[in-house]
Amino acid sequence: MIYLGSVAGSLLSTLFIVFAIAAIGYLVGGIKIKGISLGTAGVLLIALVVGIVFSLCGDKIGDSVTLAFTIGKTKITLYDASIKKLFDLVSNIGTAMFVTAVGLIAGPKFFRSFNKSMISYVAMGAIIIVLGVGMTVLISALGGMDMATGTGLLAGSLTSTPAFSAAKDAAKEISEALESKVAAGYGIGYLYGVLGVVLFVQIMPKILKVNIEEERANFIAAGTVVLQEDDKKRVDIDDFGFFPFCLTVVLGLIIGAIKIPGINFSLGSSGGTLVSGLIVGHFGHVGKINLRVSKTTLNFFRELGLMLFLIGAGVPAGLRFIDSFSPWYFVYGIILTTVPMIVGFILGKYVFKLSIFNNLGSITGGMTSTPALGSLINVAGTDDVSSAYAATYPIALVLIVVSANLMVTIGCM
């Protein structure tokens, strides 16, 4: 066996694959049909395709893939690596960057806006998750699928990596077969789980014929926060704000690693970095040290993080997609994504009286959909919608993680 030379061999390095997916994904995401586009979610679509190609053309041992061909008696290896190990790292870095940026953006306004609408956001998050869990249990009880697959499907339909992790850990304690079923369900539900919410936040304003410019002006005016004069007199550690950003990530990872005894629950990297981002964004300094990060830097980290997250999650999901695909499970996944989203939107509009942007922001938080928030920001033309996402996301995260654990533990015993 020989490995391809340094020039050609590098063409199929993981680094090359990541940036190739990004380039093609943004190209696909930029295509608009009647004003609707996939945006950054185009990156996910291409990542899934790459994962599927790996599964069809490569030799798989678990999550490790080898792509090779033979010329005469010479075997030339193009790619040989653990997909899970490498792309999980890409996904984790992306998640930390995106969610930290969202927290820092929302932080200055988040705690100042605690009012009656906060109760609405908490209720929205709880309703969406409870409805999703209830439908999963019902479908399983009617014989549509086993609980392990159903739990994975729900986690995928809500694009919730923490819930997937919690369900896998619980299933592993029972048997490896159940763990595989959880992973299969997650892979099936994930595709529509991302694309469905991304398209929803773009389609609803068009269906309701919302005047985006007018809504944006009113939305920004209602949420304007004036920085205190003292904020302009702090000491900057670096010109770009990398120090406070990286510090926030570190604090978030520490917070996310803390486990609550008894139920074995933790916020994980996504929940922890969101909390730390909100706290650091709110206070904005430690003594004379400025911890505020410029909007330009935060927008860059947010988009880069989202791109890496989609690539890191998409390739492994594509790798499992063909083996685990079932038409009925895919239909169930569509139901688990769509029904809670529509019910939540109706309640937000007619019961909680939320504005269109706050309503959709809360939906993305309740669905724990990182990609959809990125899409909504582009639709709204302002990242102030992050506040509604940040208000709804924590309760949704806690409920889905705890529910995933209990569904597998109780439903599969």
pTM of the model: 0.73
CA separation for the pair 364, 186 (Å, rounded): 19
Q: Which residues contact 163 (CB under 8 A, 6 or more apart)?
A: 154, 155, 368, 400, 401, 403, 404
CA separation for the pair 278, 291 (Å, rounded): 12
Q: Are 312 and 94 in contact (CB under 8 A)?
A: yes
Q: Are 362 and 125 in contact (CB under 8 A)?
A: yes
Q: Are 93 and 267 in contact (CB under 8 A)?
A: no
Q: Residue 113 — very low, low, confident or very high, per pLDDT cuts 50/70/90?
A: low
Q: Residue 318 — very low, low, confident or very high, per pLDDT cuts 50/70/90?
A: confident
Give the residue-averaged pLDDT of 293-318: 84
Q: Are 352 and 343 in contact (CB under 8 A)?
A: no
Give the residue-averaged pLDDT of 228-253: 81
Q: Give strand ranges (E) for 62-190.
A: 64-71, 74-82
Q: Which residues contact 101 (CB under 8 A, 6 or more apart)?
A: 245, 277, 298, 299, 301, 302, 305
CA separation for the pair 9, 3 (Å, rounded): 7
Q: Residue 265 — very low, low, confident or very high, per pLDDT cuts 50/70/90?
A: low
Q: What is the percent of the chain where pLDDT is above 90? A: 16
Asked whether the predicted pLDDT for residue 21 surpasses 50, the reply is yes
Q: Are 116 and 380 in contact (CB under 8 A)?
A: no
Q: Which residue has the higher pLDDT, 360 or 259?
A: 360
Q: State the pLDDT at residue 331.
A: 92
Return the minimum-mean-pLDDT range out of 96-105, 118-127, 225-234, 259-268.
225-234
Q: Residue 360 — very low, low, confident or very high, per pLDDT cuts 50/70/90?
A: very high
H-helix or E-strand spanning residue 158: none
Q: State the pLDDT at residue 4.
A: 44
Question: 129-168 pLDDT, tens per residue?
Answer: 999 999 999 998 888 788 888 998 998 898 887 777 778 7
Average pLDDT score over the chain? 81
Number of residues that make up the chain: 413
Q: State the pLDDT at residue 2.
A: 45
Asked whether the predicted pLDDT for residue 316 surpasses 90, the reply is no
CA separation for the pair 235, 247 (Å, rounded): 16
Look up residue 406 and give its amino acid: L
